[in-house]
Amino acid sequence: MSAQVTQTISGRIFTFLEHGLVLTVIGIVGGLAGIFVDGRWFLVLCAPISLALHRSRALDGSDRRAKLITHSVVFVVSMLLLLALGIEINKSREHIPTAYEIAAAVTSLGSGPAPVLQDDLAYGATFVGIANMPERQHVKTWNEKPWDESNYSDVRLTIGNTHDFPLENLDLEISVSEGDKEQLIAGIDQLSAVSGVEFRRPSVPQTPPVRLRGRDGNTYNLPIDSMLDKTHFPSPSYKMFCPRLLAKDGLRLIIAAAFTGRIKRPPERLRISGSYETAPSEGSKRVQVDKIVQVAK
């Protein structure tokens, strides 16, 4: 008697689950969960699909074995299709941070400097051997005289921002590589139109004053630092500062490389060192730069 009651209760539950309104609610809830929460929630829809097949009575008249095989095939196929759909939706879904990720990010605030990223600026250097190019006359050389074609080689340097966001506070030192010991930089200027770009010679190392004895017998100190700081001369390197470089924009520089030895040839490579920052929208992360750029001839 109890077995008959149990069967009746099971049948009633099964009939309730097969009701069209119940199947609609399960389908809507499972679909919304799969779209907005996690694509794997689509697997919930396998159950209403199987129940809908049974409710349609499409298999009436078939034997028990055929019904079992058909239901199994429909369930497996629908599960695979819904799983593939959920995976594709998860791939295209923008990442929403979890509570644990948000807590970790808040905890890390103020714990130290911004992480250092890898430099991925685009660099290029080319020697221009054509004489008397007009843009050379705008380069301020170490002795403030016009470009000397017999003593300077023309090297063009490009520094490009490959990102889709601007970069800020580019503080770079441009120098002749150590392999070109007979090369110095006599002057540098910008050919592009990026605003706020500044060039300066590196600071002169501190030098102790020279002690001289005058004819009056007294000792005098001659400050060498102030004299050298006011003197312009070719330098192995120049400092460049750019406050902001827009996305996909670039700097085009002209460098007067001065010959200091008997062999007059352009430098083989330049060295770019220093740092820059990503945009505030990208976290203002500091990026270190140390790049050897070959000069194409």
Answer whether residue 290 is part of any domain.
yes
- pLDDT at site 107: 56
Answer whether residue 102 is part of any domain.
no
- CATH value at residue 258: 2.60.40.1170
**Predicted confidence (pLDDT) at residue 125 exceeds the cutoff of 80:** yes
Q: What is the average pLDDT across 185-205?
A: 86
Stated pTM of the model:
0.54
What secondary structure, in 3-state letters, does 246-270 show? CCCCEEEEEEEEEECCCCCCCCCEE
- Which carries the bigger pLDDT value, residue 178 or residue 145? 145
- pLDDT at site 281: 86
| Structural domain total, the chain | 2
Give residue 103's identity as a one-letter amino acid code: A
Answer whether residue 110 is part of any domain.
no
Look-up of token digits 């095989």 = 69
Encode pLDDT of 93-108 as tens digits: 555 555 555 665 555 5
- Which carries the bigger pLDDT value, residue 197 or residue 33? 197
- Which of these ranges, 2-11, 71-80, 208-217, has the smallest mean pLDDT? 2-11
**Predicted confidence (pLDDT) at residue 156 exceeds the cutoff of 80:** yes
Q: Give yes or no for a contact between 296 and 125, defined as CB atoms under 8 angstroms apart.
A: yes
**Predicted confidence (pLDDT) at residue 110 exceeds the cutoff of 80:** no
CA nearest to 146, candidates 28, 23, 294, 256: 256
Residue 1: pLDDT band by 50, 70, 90 thresholds?
A: very low
Residues 274 and 178 grouped into a single domain: yes
Residue 144: pLDDT band by 50, 70, 90 thresholds?
A: confident
Residues 225 and 128 grouped into a single domain: yes
DSSP string of 90-128, one letter each residue = HHHSPP---HHHHHHHHHHTTSSSPPPBPP--EEEEEEE
Distance CA 35, CA 38 (A): 7
What secondary structure, in 3-state letters, does 162-224 show? CCCCCEEEEEEEEEECCCCCCEEEEEEEECCCCCCCEEECCCCCCCCCEEEECCCCCEEEECH
Average pLDDT of the chain, as a whole number? 79
Range of the domain at 268: 122-206+221-296
Encode pLDDT of 219-246 as tens digits: 777 665 555 555 556 788 899 999 999 9
- pLDDT at site 5: 45
